Amino acid sequence: MMRILSVFLALALSLAACAPSAPQMGPDGKPLPRAYRISSGDTGKIQFRMLDSVNALRQASGRAPVALDPRLNAAAATHARDMSVQNRPWHFGSDGSSPIDRINRVGYDGRLVGETISETYESELETLAAWMEQPDTRRVIMSADARNMGFSWHQESNGKIWWTLVMGN
């Protein structure tokens, strides 16, 4: 009898460990965000998921699609890492560079339409949704002048992500 009881107890503990845990709640009653972890093999998937999402939003508003540009991706990656080093989300590099300087450095021969940045623990799609809620970042993403897009990020070991999206023409 003791052996059967032990088996049932072990089974019950195993099943309890499989049950989903309730999310931690913040002071506002909403669930606290969980860090979105990006693996090194996710780069292409994330960039194309963002491109597809941006183009779906643009198409819904009657705008032409944009194409992913590797030079703008490089400018975005440089700035995302630099914001992390500076520990602040802003449009100027630690060397005083502007978004225009960064796209010129990577050899982009078009002109800058705009740059959107973010510091968060959320995914690229949650970040895009937040950008679309703000008039200034929405204007950059939806600009009729935009033809090319660069998108990249830097993730710190604690999970914080520095996102940068650059639109060019």
> Can you give 46-103 as a three-state secondary structure string?
HHHHHHHHHHHHHHHCCCCCCEECHHHHHHHHHHHHHHHHHCCCCCCCCCCCCHHHHH
What whole-number distance in Å separates Cα of residue 1 and Cα of residue 37?
Answer: 47
The string of pLDDT tens digits covering residues 97-155 is: 999 999 999 999 999 999 999 998 889 999 999 999 999 999 999 999 999 999 999 99
What whole-number distance in Å separates Cα of residue 82 and Cα of residue 90?
Answer: 10
Q: Which pTM does this prediction carry?
A: 0.78
The string of pLDDT tens digits covering residues 80-101 is: 999 999 998 999 999 999 999 9
